[in-house]
Amino acid sequence: MDVNERIKAILVEHPVVLFMKGTPAWPMCDFSARAAQALTATGARFQTVNVQADPQIRSALPHFSNLSTFPQLFVQGELMGGCDVIEELHQAGELGRMMADVLAVP
């Protein structure tokens, strides 16, 4: 499976994915830490991918998403944005509502 197919498979399998440097418990940059904290504050479950541990995804994702920085948040396969967007959504209360809508069990 090529790297773009792997990225697509991750996005299909998980409704909320944060591609970040490190993990929520051990972030490797301030931006990734802040993004993970905002998502965690919503109480939502989300999948993380440590791009430091997967150099193929780290190099391919900017081309796949057309966003050159990390972290990158995808919701239902759609790029939401990076740290600034995540924090803005969180501060406006939209991130929590978005997570509740996406992760609601019918």
Residue 66: which domain range? 3-103
pLDDT tens, residue by residue, 40-56: 999 989 999 999 999 99
pLDDT tier at 102 (50, 70, 90 boundaries)?
A: confident
Q: Which residues are annotated as a binding site for [2Fe-2S] cluster?
A: 29
Q: Which residues are annotated as a binding site?
A: 21, 29, 58, 70, 83-84
Q: Which residues are annotated as a binding site for glutathione?
A: 21, 58, 70, 83-84
Task: Provide DSSP, 38-95.
Answer: HHHHTT---EEEETTT-HHHHHHHHHHHT--SS-EEEETTEEEESHHHHHHHHHTTHH
Judge contact between 87 and 38, C-beta under 8 A: yes
Provide the domain count of the chain: 1
- Check residue 104 and give its pLDDT: 72
pTM of the model: 0.94
The CATH number of residue 57's host domain is 3.40.30.10
Write out the two tokens for 88.
Answer: 């803005």
Q: What is the mean pLDDT of the chain?
A: 95
